[in-house]
Amino acid sequence: MSRLEELKQRIESREARIGVIGLGYVGLPLALEFSKVGFEVVGFDVDLRKVESLGRGVSYIEDVPSSEVARIVASGKLRASADFGELSRCDVINVCVPTPLTKTKDPDVSHMAAAVGDIRKRLRAGQLVILGSTTYPGTTHELFVPILEDSGLRVGVDFALAFAPERIDPANKKFSVRDVPKVVGGETPLCTELAAAVFRGVFEQVVMVSSTQCAEMVKLLENTFRAINIGLVNEWALMCHRLGLDVWEVIDAAATKPYGFMKFQPGPGLGGHCIPVDPSYLAWKMKALNFPARFIELATDVNGRMPEYVVERVTDLLNEERMAVNGSRILIVGVAYKADVSDVRESPALDVIRLLAEKGAEVSYHDPHVPELAIEGRQYKSVDLSAEGMAGADLAILITDHSAVDAQRVVDGCQRIFDTRNATRNVRSGREKVRKL
């Protein structure tokens, strides 16, 4: 029996020891799910604060209750470590590290490369490596196979390698980690089967595809589809404003069609860890093949300009009152990239604040999930939505529709409101104060 066949038996009997590199919003929930079904799990992270927090049974992710972390840590099935030397003792290693873009919009796979380099130093026969970080098609085969095989071990013979993209949606109460089907593609059929065997214990459905490149492309299609459709409705919002129409009314009416239409909503721009980033990974790859990704480029342009459009509309609203942006007190309501999360990565609110500050506005913000943030070296702290504070603002901009924020209270307390999310759709009074995207 080969070492990989032995590994499959260890996986199916839950005797395999699983490592998870990267204990963020993707890695920690995955590590918990593996622990729940009986695997012994070691989570690795270079951030000692995360390691120490998990050692105390305390969660640092809003979606993950500390009570759940404490229970699983106390059971002995999960522990965290900053000692990557322990990777040699893991049978299965999942890589869940960030894959951002550089300032020039090129893929930054340095975190993945560092993780794979750490694995390469400890790689042994009979191990399975699964990459989950979003990247351009071909990364696993072209970049990481050579690194790992430099150990002298052969993929598909001595060790297994697969790509299984993360599909986590923070703050989604409808679909938990295990509810979303897991896509898996390996470097060989055996690699695919081993990775699928690992995930079958956790996910309700596992979807096997023919290659790592296919699995990489699946994730990019999912988020590029969203980015392009958001770009479409954002442009629809611009057209409706020019035509004097309510874009929200148009979208809601169109959404009554029971087939052939999927509802997307406009907003102040794209934010988060995936949708603003993933299409650029594909566009970068296709540019190297002399293939222009025109839909992606157009959607990226439309979505990227939305913060400027918000500032233009705000400028017009103030001008109607014979007020200038320079010196105006503007309150931003919500700075996270989406409702009910604390993540501000790529949030359009950051660009709106920066643009307003450059025009001389006195900008403050309120966000129940983000106590403080820094924008180009300037520090901001969340302010209370006090009656005095709201009344003192010349204009409020609703950017993130957190469920904890009472839209009616904002409308009642503020002099003027620009609503980029249709958060005020159900207010009972004060509609004359509100202008929408």
What amino acid positions are annotated as catalytic residues? 274
Cβ neighbours for 294, distance < 8 A, ≥ 6 positions apart: none
- Contact residues for 1 (Cβ-Cβ < 8 A; gap 6+): none
Please give the C-alpha separations between residue 29 and each of 23, 43, 120, 342, in angstroms, as whole numbers: 8, 11, 25, 16
β-strand partners of 396: 331, 417
One-letter amino acid at 322 equals R
Measured CA to CA, the distance from residue 82 to residue 44 in angstroms comes to 6
Strands of 49-106, DSSP E: 78-81, 92-95
Q: Report in angstroms the alpha-carbon separations of 300 from 257, 269, 280, 287.
A: 28, 10, 8, 15
313, two tokens: 């509309």
Give the ranges where 321-366 is alpha helix by DSSP (H).
Answer: 348-358
Q: Report residue 407 as tokens.
A: 């839209």
Tokens, residue 361: 């506005």
Length in residues, the chain:
437
Q: Which residues contact 302 (CB under 8 A, 6 or more apart)?
A: 231, 234, 235
